[in-house]
Homo-oligomer: A and B are copies of this chain.
Amino acid sequence: MLSDDRWFTEYCEEAGSAHSFRIEAKLHEEQTGYQKIEVYETTHFGRVMVIDGFIMLSARDNFIYHEMLAHPILYTHEAPKRVAVVGGGDCGTLNEVLKHPEVEQVTLIDIDERVVRLSEIHFPELCGRNDDPRAKFCFTDGCKWMREAPQDSIDVIIVDSTDPIGPGEILFSGEFYSACQRALAGNGLLVQQSESPLLHMDILRGMYREMKGAGFSHLKSLFFPLSVYPSGWWSATMARKGAPIEGFREEAAGNRPFQTRYYNSDIHRGAFCAPEFFYQALSDIEPVT
């Protein structure tokens, strides 16, 4: 029943699970030079973008993901002026970053320009700030861009990547993290989506190892719900250059000059609270102190 054309189903091979959304129409399908992009209109989750069979976002709940990728790191950094978003072609993370008046420039680096162009058509609510003079778009390989970025030139890097297969794989490598480490200014911060804590601790362990190997000695993961991703529970992992990740600009977060639907100061604090099994699974890489 769910394989008929009234449903879009995403399979999660490694979990023996699948999740499905009832669709009203397929709005678009194209094979770009990098990946296959589909856009569906669903009955209850609004528009959904799918890349290579994996749901990237839905109109209904992308606010959680985009707010949690943008605001915790920007309110943790003391003065985030120069930001790079690697991946994130749907522009939702960029849109949240641009809500921060203290940000002076944001470069979005996505290998596939078509993701941005299709998002402008099908998710205009995420692209409303694309013309902000602080925003710059580079359609190139994120790892190459980062290697070529001037040393100490970025305050905050947000890696809004696909899963570590296909074009996104390089963004989970030590080579990429070393390039980030070099490009970040002192006390600079990196955050990257880091998959499901329930399903993908092997990926998280790999990421912790690679980030530490690249010189990021201080790591912390944050957790949030996301119904369109496998298991409905997702994480992002934050790394700081040269200093522990402690506290955040709480007063600024509480007085933020824009509306949010998920993020607030309480959520900021709560998101960094890790479950017991998470500490245990990382205990040989990142001992709890």
Binary contact track A1-38/B, C-beta < 8 Å → 1, others 0: 11100010100001111111110000000000000000
Q: Report the copy number of this chain in the oligomer.
A: 2
Query: Which residues of A235-279 are within 8 A (CB) of B?
Result: 259-264, 266-267, 269-277
Q: How large is the interface on A (under 10, 10 to 19, 20 to 34, 35 or more residues)?
A: 35 or more
For A265, the closest partner residue in chain B by CB is B273
State whether the Cβ of A107 lies closer than 8 Å to any Cβ in chain B.
no
Check A193 for interface membership: any CB of B closer than 8 A: no
Report how far A225 CA is from B229 CA in the complex, Å: 12
The answer to whether B44 touches A17, judged by C-beta atoms less than 8 angstroms apart, is yes
Taking A15-B45, A227-B231, A231-B232 as known contacts, 9 extra A-B pairs with beta carbons closer than 8 A to each other, sorted by chain A number, are: A16-B21, A16-B45, A19-B20, A199-B227, A223-B225, A225-B232, A267-B273, A267-B274, A267-B275
Contacts of A22 in B (CB 8 A): 16-17
Is the CB of A145 closer than 8 A to any CB of chain B?
A: no
Query: A17 contacts B16, CB within 8 Å?
Result: no
CA distance A255 to B60 in the complex (A): 41
Bound complex: CA of A36 vs CA of B180, how far in Å?
55
The answer to the question of A42 belonging to the interface, with a C-beta cut-off of 8 Å to chain B, is yes
Q: What residues of chain B lie closer than 8 Å to A260, measured between beta carbons?
A: 276
What are the interface flags for A194-225 relative to B under an 8 Å C-beta threshold, 1 for contact and 0 otherwise? 00011100000000000000000000000101
Say whether, besides A3-B2, A227-B231, A231-B227, A43 and B19 are in contact (CB < 8 Å).
no
